[in-house]
Amino acid sequence: MKTARTFLLYFFSLLSTLFAYASEGYLNEANEHQYKVSANFDDRAEISIEFISGTGYVSWIQARNSETGNLDDYGRYYVGTFWKAYLPVDSNILVAVRGNGVNCYYFRVKEPTFGHIEMGGGSATPSIEIVAGEALEIKRLYNTYSAAGCPDP
Does the pTM surpass 0.75? The reply is no
Q: How many residues does the chain have?
A: 153
pLDDT tens across the length of the chain (153 residues): 666 656 555 554 554 544 444 444 433 444 444 434 445 566 899 999 998 876 567 888 999 999 999 999 999 988 888 999 999 999 999 998 877 778 888 999 999 999 999 888 766 677 787 788 889 998 988 877 776 678 888
